[in-house]
């Protein structure tokens, strides 16, 4: 059943072409209506991820590959409303929807269909959407999905096992902060690499050891790791090789394409959050109207955790 709602339009941020943050423009467009198997979500919060910035600026080498450029759009994004994660409230449901009810608080990952930089979005009830963790705010919930699901994807890829030694390069970023906490949950011995100002903070997230990259090169310490995860795409396999065990694995978020996300990941993260084992880390928060400013901040590459956008 669908509630009566006089609002026919909504605000959304459009990426008008590839380029600097100024290409992002706030516009008023028609509000979407859910199909039979969809839910209409009133968006309360989203985030600015490194992936959003890479697509907007078309800066990642992976994006220059012809198939990806054709998929995304040649001169501007085919899906002009960016944003890959969101939290909000179900405002309307299609007639065939069984999993959700009007008023449900949810969090969702839109992935490569984007669309989260808007006041409303329609998603399939069978998509990457589930009930929001009950013990945190909408803003906090928007600060965990991208990093958490990306970390889980690379843990599966690296076949992380309890007792292994893992180094996380870029431990203070969106992916890194989740990776540190999740690796500890899975029983790894975790070394985080970060800047001087974040050393104690990364240790507080659960890292067993922390290396300040301004003072020491992790590859020159003499220590060896079973898995090295470059969570920011700023080191290389060639450089990391000296710090790997003979069968060690190097994994990087750079050039790896899109992380595969499962709805089970969202449920798993929800359980960990509600059990107090995982938290989203918020560096700064901006209103939707200042999203270009938020992108400029993320472009600097020094954010601590996540940058959240409040929508409603």
- Each residue of 154-165: pLDDT tens digit? 999 999 999 999
Q: pLDDT digits over 138-180, tens only? A: 999 999 999 999 999 999 999 999 999 999 999 999 999 999 9
pLDDT of residue 1: 47
Give percent above pLDDT 90 in the chain: 84
Give percent above pLDDT 70 in the chain: 94
Question: What is the pTM (predicted TM-score) of this model?
Answer: 0.91
pLDDT of residue 101: 98
Name the nearest CA neighbour of 232 among 206, 209, 205, 213: 213
Q: pLDDT digits over 47-56, tens only? A: 999 889 989 9
Kind plus residue range of the DSSP H or E element containing 47: strand 38-48
Domains, the chain, in order of start with CATH, read 9-143+281-310 (3.90.180.10), 146-252 (3.40.50.720)
Instruction: Calculate the average pLDDT of the chain.
Output: 93
Q: What tokens does 82 get? A: 């960016």
The span from the CA of 13 to the CA of 291, in Å, is 8
282 within 8 A of 256, measured Cβ to Cβ: no
> Average pLDDT for residues 98-112, to the nearest whole number?
95
pLDDT of residue 119: 98
């Amino acid at each position: 059943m669908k509630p009566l709602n006089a609002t026919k339009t909504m605000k959304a941020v459009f990426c008008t072409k590839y380029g600097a943050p100024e290409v992002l423009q706030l516009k008023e467009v028609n509000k979407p209506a859910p199909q039979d198997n969809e839910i209409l979500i009133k968006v309360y919060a989203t985030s600015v991820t490194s992936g959003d910035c890479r697509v907007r600026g078309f800066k990642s080498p992976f994006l220059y590959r012809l198939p990806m450029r054709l998929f995304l759009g040649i001169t501007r994004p085919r899906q002009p409303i960016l944003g890959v994660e969101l939290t909000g409230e179900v405002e309307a449901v299609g007639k065939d929807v069984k999993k959700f009810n009007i008023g449900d608080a949810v969090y969702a990952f839109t992935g490569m269909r984007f669309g989260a930089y808007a006041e409303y979005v329609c998603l399939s009830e069978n998509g990457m959407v589930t009930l929001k963790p009950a013990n945190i705010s909408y803003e906090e919930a928007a600060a965990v999905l991208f990093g958490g699901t990306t970390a889980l994807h690379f843990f599966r890829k690296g076949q992380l096992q309890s007792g292994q030694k893992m180094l996380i390069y870029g431990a203070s970023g969106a992916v890194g902060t989740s990776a540190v906490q999740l690796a500890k949950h899975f029983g790894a011995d975790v070394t985080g690499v970060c800047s001087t100002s974040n050393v104690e903070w990364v240790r507080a997230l659960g890292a067993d050891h922390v290396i300040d990259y301004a003072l020491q090169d992790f590859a020159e310490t003499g220590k060896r790791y079973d898995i090295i995860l470059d969570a920011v795409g700023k080191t290389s396999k060639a450089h990391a090789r000296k710090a790997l065990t003979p069968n060690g694995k190097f994994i990087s978020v750079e050039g790896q394409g899109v992380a595969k996300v499962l709805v089970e990941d969202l449920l798993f993260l929800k359980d960990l959050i509600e059990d107090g084992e995982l938290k989203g880390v918020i560096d700064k928060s901006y209103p939707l109207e200042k999203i270009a400013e938020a992108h400029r901040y993320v472009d600097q590459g020094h954010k601590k955790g996540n940058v959240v956008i409040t929508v409603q």
